[in-house]
Structure 1
Amino acid sequence: MRQHVNPLSRFFQQPLPLPPPAELFAVPGQPLHLDIGCARGRFLLALAAREPQRNHLGVEIRRALVSAAEADRQRQQLTNLHVLFCNANVSLEGWLAELPAGLLDLVSIQFPDPWFKKKHHKRRVLQPALLLAIAAALAPGKRLFVQSDVLAVIEPMLAVIEASGCFTADHPAAGA
Protein backbone atom coordinates (compact mmCIF):
# COMPACT_ATOMS: atom_id res chain seq x y z
CA MET A 1 0.00 0.00 0.00
CA ARG A 2 1.20 3.45 -0.83
CA GLN A 3 2.43 5.27 2.28
CA HIS A 4 1.55 8.79 1.18
CA VAL A 5 -0.99 10.33 -1.14
CA ASN A 6 -0.85 13.85 -2.49
CA PRO A 7 -3.71 15.70 -0.77
CA LEU A 8 -3.35 18.51 -3.32
CA SER A 9 -4.09 16.30 -6.33
CA ARG A 10 -7.35 17.05 -8.10
CA PHE A 11 -8.88 13.77 -6.89
CA PHE A 12 -8.66 14.86 -3.25
CA GLN A 13 -9.85 18.45 -3.78
CA GLN A 14 -13.55 17.65 -3.99
CA PRO A 15 -15.24 18.35 -0.64
CA LEU A 16 -17.12 15.31 0.57
CA PRO A 17 -20.34 15.74 2.51
CA LEU A 18 -19.72 14.16 5.88
CA PRO A 19 -22.78 12.69 7.58
CA PRO A 20 -24.19 14.34 10.70
CA PRO A 21 -23.48 12.55 14.00
CA ALA A 22 -27.05 11.21 14.10
CA GLU A 23 -26.25 9.08 11.03
CA LEU A 24 -22.96 7.80 12.42
CA PHE A 25 -23.48 6.91 16.06
CA ALA A 26 -26.01 5.01 18.17
CA VAL A 27 -26.01 7.85 20.74
CA PRO A 28 -25.26 10.95 18.65
CA GLY A 29 -25.40 13.42 21.55
CA GLN A 30 -22.37 11.98 23.34
CA PRO A 31 -19.17 14.05 23.39
CA LEU A 32 -17.23 13.62 20.16
CA HIS A 33 -13.54 12.84 19.67
CA LEU A 34 -12.26 13.62 16.16
CA ASP A 35 -9.00 11.89 15.16
CA ILE A 36 -7.55 13.42 11.99
CA GLY A 37 -5.37 11.04 9.97
CA CYS A 38 -6.39 7.94 11.90
CA ALA A 39 -4.74 5.49 9.45
CA ARG A 40 -6.13 2.01 10.08
CA GLY A 41 -7.83 3.20 13.25
CA ARG A 42 -6.22 0.84 15.76
CA PHE A 43 -5.91 3.60 18.37
CA LEU A 44 -9.56 4.55 17.88
CA LEU A 45 -10.76 0.94 18.00
CA ALA A 46 -9.14 0.46 21.40
CA LEU A 47 -10.30 3.85 22.67
CA ALA A 48 -13.89 3.36 21.52
CA ALA A 49 -14.06 0.02 23.34
CA ARG A 50 -12.63 1.62 26.48
CA GLU A 51 -14.71 4.84 26.30
CA PRO A 52 -18.29 3.93 25.35
CA GLN A 53 -19.51 7.24 26.82
CA ARG A 54 -17.79 9.16 23.98
CA ASN A 55 -18.22 8.96 20.21
CA HIS A 56 -15.07 8.67 18.12
CA LEU A 57 -14.72 9.73 14.51
CA GLY A 58 -11.60 9.01 12.52
CA VAL A 59 -10.92 10.62 9.17
CA GLU A 60 -8.29 9.33 6.77
CA ILE A 61 -7.25 10.22 3.23
CA ARG A 62 -6.22 6.68 2.22
CA ARG A 63 -9.37 4.80 1.24
CA ALA A 64 -7.91 1.30 1.76
CA LEU A 65 -7.12 2.13 5.39
CA VAL A 66 -10.64 3.45 5.94
CA SER A 67 -12.10 0.21 4.55
CA ALA A 68 -9.90 -1.88 6.85
CA ALA A 69 -10.77 0.25 9.90
CA GLU A 70 -14.49 0.10 9.15
CA ALA A 71 -14.31 -3.70 8.77
CA ASP A 72 -12.64 -3.94 12.18
CA ARG A 73 -15.24 -1.60 13.69
CA GLN A 74 -18.09 -3.69 12.34
CA ARG A 75 -16.45 -6.91 13.51
CA GLN A 76 -16.17 -5.47 17.03
CA GLN A 77 -19.72 -4.06 16.81
CA LEU A 78 -18.70 -0.63 18.04
CA THR A 79 -21.57 1.83 17.67
CA ASN A 80 -19.62 4.78 19.08
CA LEU A 81 -16.96 4.73 16.36
CA HIS A 82 -16.92 5.55 12.68
CA VAL A 83 -14.07 6.04 10.21
CA LEU A 84 -14.60 8.16 7.10
CA PHE A 85 -12.62 8.85 3.95
CA CYS A 86 -11.88 12.51 3.29
CA ASN A 87 -9.19 15.12 2.81
CA ALA A 88 -9.27 16.87 6.18
CA ASN A 89 -8.21 20.22 4.72
CA VAL A 90 -11.00 20.15 2.15
CA SER A 91 -13.96 18.51 3.88
CA LEU A 92 -13.62 19.12 7.62
CA GLU A 93 -14.03 22.90 7.76
CA GLY A 94 -17.65 22.81 6.60
CA TRP A 95 -18.46 19.72 8.63
CA LEU A 96 -17.03 21.22 11.83
CA ALA A 97 -19.06 24.39 11.28
CA GLU A 98 -22.27 22.32 11.13
CA LEU A 99 -21.66 20.38 14.36
CA PRO A 100 -23.99 21.19 17.26
CA ALA A 101 -22.33 23.58 19.68
CA GLY A 102 -20.47 21.86 22.48
CA LEU A 103 -20.46 18.40 20.86
CA LEU A 104 -16.79 18.35 19.85
CA ASP A 105 -14.86 17.33 22.94
CA LEU A 106 -11.39 16.44 21.67
CA VAL A 107 -9.43 16.64 18.42
CA SER A 108 -6.28 14.60 17.92
CA ILE A 109 -3.65 14.57 15.19
CA GLN A 110 -1.10 11.86 15.82
CA PHE A 111 2.00 11.01 13.83
CA PRO A 112 0.95 12.77 10.61
CA ASP A 113 2.73 12.16 7.32
CA PRO A 114 5.92 14.24 7.58
CA TRP A 115 6.26 15.67 4.07
CA PHE A 116 9.92 16.55 4.71
CA LYS A 117 10.71 18.48 1.52
CA LYS A 118 10.04 22.21 1.85
CA LYS A 119 8.03 22.24 -1.40
CA HIS A 120 5.74 19.57 0.13
CA HIS A 121 5.05 21.34 3.44
CA LYS A 122 1.77 22.63 1.99
CA ARG A 123 0.59 18.99 1.98
CA ARG A 124 0.85 18.68 5.76
CA VAL A 125 -2.44 18.07 7.49
CA LEU A 126 -2.37 20.90 10.03
CA GLN A 127 -2.90 24.01 7.93
CA PRO A 128 -4.01 27.36 9.41
CA ALA A 129 -7.54 27.22 7.96
CA LEU A 130 -8.19 23.77 9.42
CA LEU A 131 -6.76 24.84 12.76
CA LEU A 132 -9.12 27.83 12.90
CA ALA A 133 -12.09 25.58 12.05
CA ILE A 134 -11.07 23.24 14.88
CA ALA A 135 -10.73 26.16 17.28
CA ALA A 136 -14.17 27.47 16.34
CA ALA A 137 -15.79 24.05 16.84
CA LEU A 138 -14.13 23.18 20.15
CA ALA A 139 -15.79 24.65 23.21
CA PRO A 140 -13.54 26.57 25.60
CA GLY A 141 -11.58 24.20 27.81
CA LYS A 142 -11.73 21.33 25.31
CA ARG A 143 -8.52 19.91 23.88
CA LEU A 144 -6.49 19.68 20.73
CA PHE A 145 -3.92 16.89 21.11
CA VAL A 146 -1.01 16.65 18.67
CA GLN A 147 1.98 14.36 18.71
CA SER A 148 4.73 13.16 16.43
CA ASP A 149 7.95 11.24 16.83
CA VAL A 150 9.59 13.50 14.23
CA LEU A 151 10.88 16.80 15.61
CA ALA A 152 10.83 18.38 12.12
CA VAL A 153 7.08 17.72 12.05
CA ILE A 154 5.97 18.59 15.58
CA GLU A 155 7.86 21.90 15.77
CA PRO A 156 6.03 23.45 12.78
CA MET A 157 2.72 22.05 14.07
CA LEU A 158 3.28 23.69 17.44
CA ALA A 159 4.35 26.93 15.74
CA VAL A 160 1.11 27.05 13.72
CA ILE A 161 -0.92 26.34 16.85
CA GLU A 162 0.91 28.98 18.88
CA ALA A 163 0.64 31.57 16.09
CA SER A 164 -3.12 31.05 15.91
CA GLY A 165 -3.56 32.30 19.47
CA CYS A 166 -6.46 29.87 19.85
CA PHE A 167 -4.86 27.33 22.18
CA THR A 168 -2.61 27.26 25.21
CA ALA A 169 -0.16 24.45 25.84
CA ASP A 170 -0.86 22.32 28.89
CA HIS A 171 2.47 20.50 28.53
CA PRO A 172 5.83 21.87 27.38
CA ALA A 173 7.06 20.85 23.95
CA ALA A 174 9.59 18.04 23.77
CA GLY A 175 13.07 19.21 24.55
CA ALA A 176 11.82 22.32 26.36
Structure 2
Amino acid sequence: MAVVRVRQHVNPLSDKYQAPVGIPAWEQVFATHRQPLHIDIGCGKGMFALQMAQLVPEWNFLGLEIRKPVAESAQKRQQEAGLTNLHFMFCNVNISLRALLESWGDQTPLQQVSIQFPDPWFKKRHQKRRVLQPELVSTLAEFLPAGGRVVVQSDVEAVAVDMCDRLTENPHFQRQAESWLTQSPFPAQTDRERVTLEQGLPVYRAIFTRS
Protein backbone atom coordinates (compact mmCIF):
# COMPACT_ATOMS: atom_id res chain seq x y z
CA MET A 1 0.00 0.00 0.00
CA ALA A 2 1.47 3.34 -1.05
CA VAL A 3 2.10 5.91 1.65
CA VAL A 4 0.71 9.33 0.82
CA ARG A 5 2.93 12.14 2.07
CA VAL A 6 1.14 15.19 3.38
CA ARG A 7 2.88 18.53 3.01
CA GLN A 8 3.72 20.14 6.33
CA HIS A 9 3.00 23.60 4.91
CA VAL A 10 0.82 24.70 2.03
CA ASN A 11 0.56 28.14 0.43
CA PRO A 12 -2.99 29.37 1.14
CA LEU A 13 -2.67 31.94 -1.66
CA SER A 14 -2.15 29.35 -4.40
CA ASP A 15 -4.96 28.79 -6.90
CA LYS A 16 -5.88 25.34 -5.58
CA TYR A 17 -7.03 26.83 -2.27
CA GLN A 18 -9.18 29.65 -3.64
CA ALA A 19 -12.39 27.67 -4.26
CA PRO A 20 -15.12 28.22 -1.64
CA VAL A 21 -15.95 25.18 0.44
CA GLY A 22 -19.32 23.45 0.21
CA ILE A 23 -21.71 24.37 3.01
CA PRO A 24 -22.98 21.42 5.06
CA ALA A 25 -26.44 21.11 6.59
CA TRP A 26 -25.56 21.91 10.19
CA GLU A 27 -28.61 20.15 11.60
CA GLN A 28 -27.25 16.96 10.04
CA VAL A 29 -23.65 17.59 11.11
CA PHE A 30 -24.39 18.22 14.80
CA ALA A 31 -26.97 16.39 16.91
CA THR A 32 -27.83 19.67 18.66
CA HIS A 33 -26.79 22.23 16.10
CA ARG A 34 -27.81 25.33 18.07
CA GLN A 35 -25.67 24.73 21.14
CA PRO A 36 -22.56 26.94 21.57
CA LEU A 37 -19.98 26.57 18.82
CA HIS A 38 -16.18 26.59 19.12
CA ILE A 39 -14.22 26.79 15.85
CA ASP A 40 -10.62 25.57 15.89
CA ILE A 41 -8.88 27.22 12.92
CA GLY A 42 -5.96 25.21 11.58
CA CYS A 43 -6.99 22.15 13.59
CA GLY A 44 -4.34 19.84 12.12
CA LYS A 45 -4.94 16.22 13.08
CA GLY A 46 -7.88 17.33 15.21
CA MET A 47 -6.75 15.82 18.50
CA PHE A 48 -7.43 19.03 20.42
CA ALA A 49 -10.99 19.35 19.10
CA LEU A 50 -11.57 15.62 19.61
CA GLN A 51 -10.60 15.90 23.28
CA MET A 52 -12.62 19.08 23.74
CA ALA A 53 -15.74 17.47 22.25
CA GLN A 54 -15.41 14.63 24.74
CA LEU A 55 -14.74 16.91 27.71
CA VAL A 56 -17.35 19.59 26.92
CA PRO A 57 -20.35 17.76 25.40
CA GLU A 58 -22.62 20.79 25.83
CA TRP A 59 -20.62 22.59 23.10
CA ASN A 60 -20.17 21.84 19.40
CA PHE A 61 -16.65 21.85 17.93
CA LEU A 62 -15.78 22.55 14.31
CA GLY A 63 -12.20 21.98 13.15
CA LEU A 64 -11.07 23.70 9.95
CA GLU A 65 -7.89 22.57 8.20
CA ILE A 66 -6.37 23.65 4.88
CA ARG A 67 -4.59 20.33 4.20
CA LYS A 68 -7.33 18.12 2.77
CA PRO A 69 -5.84 14.70 3.65
CA VAL A 70 -5.29 15.84 7.23
CA ALA A 71 -8.88 17.11 7.51
CA GLU A 72 -10.21 13.86 6.09
CA SER A 73 -8.17 11.84 8.60
CA ALA A 74 -9.50 13.97 11.43
CA GLN A 75 -13.06 13.44 10.25
CA LYS A 76 -12.45 9.68 10.18
CA ARG A 77 -11.39 9.86 13.84
CA GLN A 78 -14.61 11.72 14.62
CA GLN A 79 -16.66 9.02 12.96
CA GLU A 80 -14.79 6.27 14.79
CA ALA A 81 -15.36 8.06 18.10
CA GLY A 82 -19.06 8.54 17.32
CA LEU A 83 -19.06 12.12 18.58
CA THR A 84 -22.13 14.05 17.45
CA ASN A 85 -20.82 17.42 18.68
CA LEU A 86 -17.70 17.37 16.50
CA HIS A 87 -17.05 17.94 12.80
CA PHE A 88 -13.97 18.56 10.64
CA MET A 89 -13.73 20.25 7.25
CA PHE A 90 -11.13 20.96 4.60
CA CYS A 91 -11.24 24.73 4.38
CA ASN A 92 -9.21 27.84 3.60
CA VAL A 93 -10.72 30.07 6.28
CA ASN A 94 -9.70 33.28 4.54
CA ILE A 95 -11.86 32.23 1.60
CA SER A 96 -14.75 30.36 3.19
CA LEU A 97 -15.26 31.26 6.86
CA ARG A 98 -17.73 34.09 6.21
CA ALA A 99 -19.95 31.88 4.04
CA LEU A 100 -19.82 29.10 6.64
CA LEU A 101 -20.94 31.45 9.38
CA GLU A 102 -23.59 33.14 7.24
CA SER A 103 -25.11 29.73 6.54
CA TRP A 104 -26.27 29.48 10.15
CA GLY A 105 -28.74 32.30 9.56
CA ASP A 106 -29.43 35.27 11.81
CA GLN A 107 -28.35 33.57 15.02
CA THR A 108 -25.00 31.89 14.58
CA PRO A 109 -24.09 29.83 17.67
CA LEU A 110 -20.41 30.85 17.43
CA GLN A 111 -19.02 31.67 20.87
CA GLN A 112 -15.31 30.90 20.71
CA VAL A 113 -12.47 30.60 18.19
CA SER A 114 -9.00 29.16 18.70
CA ILE A 115 -5.95 29.65 16.47
CA GLN A 116 -3.14 27.52 17.84
CA PHE A 117 0.42 27.12 16.59
CA PRO A 118 -0.28 28.29 13.02
CA ASP A 119 2.32 28.08 10.27
CA PRO A 120 4.83 30.85 11.14
CA TRP A 121 5.89 31.86 7.60
CA PHE A 122 9.04 33.51 8.92
CA LYS A 123 10.18 35.26 5.74
CA LYS A 124 8.84 38.80 5.41
CA ARG A 125 7.59 38.24 1.87
CA HIS A 126 5.63 35.16 3.01
CA GLN A 127 3.88 36.75 5.99
CA LYS A 128 0.82 37.55 3.87
CA ARG A 129 0.27 33.77 3.95
CA ARG A 130 -0.27 33.79 7.72
CA VAL A 131 -3.77 32.74 8.65
CA LEU A 132 -4.81 35.69 10.83
CA GLN A 133 -5.22 38.52 8.32
CA PRO A 134 -7.23 41.74 8.97
CA GLU A 135 -10.17 40.49 6.87
CA LEU A 136 -10.42 37.34 8.97
CA VAL A 137 -10.35 39.40 12.17
CA SER A 138 -13.20 41.51 10.77
CA THR A 139 -15.22 38.37 10.06
CA LEU A 140 -14.68 37.09 13.59
CA ALA A 141 -15.70 40.47 15.01
CA GLU A 142 -18.87 40.43 12.93
CA PHE A 143 -20.04 36.97 13.93
CA LEU A 144 -18.85 36.60 17.52
CA PRO A 145 -21.30 37.96 20.10
CA ALA A 146 -20.34 40.33 22.88
CA GLY A 147 -18.25 38.31 25.29
CA GLY A 148 -17.20 35.83 22.61
CA ARG A 149 -13.54 34.89 22.69
CA VAL A 150 -10.60 34.41 20.34
CA VAL A 151 -7.75 32.41 21.89
CA VAL A 152 -4.35 32.45 20.19
CA GLN A 153 -1.33 30.31 21.03
CA SER A 154 2.10 29.81 19.47
CA ASP A 155 5.53 28.54 20.41
CA VAL A 156 7.01 31.34 18.26
CA GLU A 157 6.80 34.66 20.10
CA ALA A 158 6.96 36.76 16.91
CA VAL A 159 3.97 34.87 15.50
CA ALA A 160 2.00 35.28 18.73
CA VAL A 161 2.82 39.00 18.76
CA ASP A 162 1.68 39.30 15.14
CA MET A 163 -1.65 37.59 15.91
CA CYS A 164 -2.18 39.87 18.89
CA ASP A 165 -1.36 42.92 16.77
CA ARG A 166 -3.95 41.90 14.15
CA LEU A 167 -6.63 41.47 16.82
CA THR A 168 -5.68 44.67 18.67
CA GLU A 169 -6.04 46.66 15.44
CA ASN A 170 -9.73 45.83 15.42
CA PRO A 171 -11.64 48.07 17.87
CA HIS A 172 -14.12 45.29 18.68
CA PHE A 173 -11.54 43.10 20.42
CA GLN A 174 -10.04 43.65 23.86
CA ARG A 175 -7.10 41.67 25.19
CA GLN A 176 -7.83 40.16 28.59
CA ALA A 177 -4.32 40.57 30.01
CA GLU A 178 -1.27 42.54 28.93
CA SER A 179 1.18 39.70 29.58
CA TRP A 180 1.22 36.19 28.13
CA LEU A 181 -1.00 33.70 29.91
CA THR A 182 0.91 31.11 31.91
CA GLN A 183 -1.82 28.49 31.59
CA SER A 184 -4.03 27.41 28.71
CA PRO A 185 -7.72 28.28 29.12
CA PHE A 186 -8.62 24.86 27.73
CA PRO A 187 -8.72 21.44 29.40
CA ALA A 188 -7.15 19.86 26.27
CA GLN A 189 -3.85 20.40 24.44
CA THR A 190 -2.77 20.34 20.84
CA ASP A 191 0.01 17.91 19.92
CA ARG A 192 2.36 20.84 19.35
CA GLU A 193 1.55 22.37 22.72
CA ARG A 194 2.19 19.08 24.53
CA VAL A 195 5.55 18.52 22.83
CA THR A 196 6.62 22.14 23.41
CA LEU A 197 5.83 21.97 27.11
CA GLU A 198 7.50 18.56 27.49
CA GLN A 199 10.67 20.14 26.09
CA GLY A 200 10.45 22.89 28.70
CA LEU A 201 9.90 25.57 26.07
CA PRO A 202 7.48 28.50 26.42
CA VAL A 203 4.05 28.82 24.85
CA TYR A 204 2.80 32.35 24.15
CA ARG A 205 -0.94 32.63 24.80
CA ALA A 206 -3.50 35.42 24.79
CA ILE A 207 -7.29 35.76 24.95
CA PHE A 208 -9.26 38.48 23.18
CA THR A 209 -12.88 39.19 24.04
CA ARG A 210 -15.45 40.66 21.66
CA SER A 211 -16.63 43.91 23.20
TM bin, normalised by shorter chain, reads over 0.9
Opposite residue 40 of structure 1, the aligned amino acid is: K
Paired with 1:119 and 1:139, the residues of 2 have a C-alpha distance of 34
Please say if 1:63 is aligned against 2:47: no
* Bigger-Rg structure (1/2): 2
Paired with 2:178 and 2:22, the residues of 1 have a C-alpha distance of 37
State the match for 2:46 in structure 1: 41
Deviations 1:59-82 (A, max 9, x none): 000011111111111111001000
State the match for 1:18 in structure 2: 23
Structure 1 segment 90-169 matched on structure 2, within 5 A: 90-100=95-105, 101-169=107-175
Paired with 2:125 and 2:82, the residues of 1 have a C-alpha distance of 42
Deviations 1:128-148 (A, max 9, x none): 111111111001011111111
Paired with 2:154 and 2:119, the residues of 1 have a C-alpha distance of 9
Higher helix share: 1
| Alignment check: 8 A CA contact 1:18 1:91 kept | no
Aligned residues: 175
TM-score normalised to the size of structure 1? Answer: 0.95
What secondary structure sits across from 1:164 in the alignment?
coil
Paired with 2:135 and 2:94, the residues of 1 have a C-alpha distance of 8
What secondary structure sits across from 1:11 in the alignment?
helix
Paired with 1:19 and 1:173, the residues of 2 have a C-alpha distance of 39
Displacement of 1:17: 2.5
Deviations 1:94-130 (A, max 9, x none): 2223334251110111110101011111110001111
Percent identity (aligned): 46
Paired with 2:74 and 2:45, the residues of 1 have a C-alpha distance of 5
TM-score normalised to the size of structure 2? Answer: 0.79
State the match for 1:2 in structure 2: 7
Please say if 1:88 is aligned against 2:88: no
Paired with 1:36 and 1:18, the residues of 2 have a C-alpha distance of 16
Opposite residue 18 of structure 1, the aligned amino acid is: I
Q: Would the alpha carbon gap of residues 125 and 49 (structure 1) be closer, same or farther in structure 2, given more than 3 Å must change? A: same
- Structure 1: gaps spanning 5 or more residues: none
What secondary structure sits across from 1:58 in the alignment?
strand
- Structure 2: gaps spanning 5 or more residues: 1-5, 181-203, 205-211
Q: Structure 1: which 4+ aligned runs deviate by more than 3 Å? A: none
Paired with 2:78 and 2:129, the residues of 1 have a C-alpha distance of 28
Displacement of 1:53: 0.5
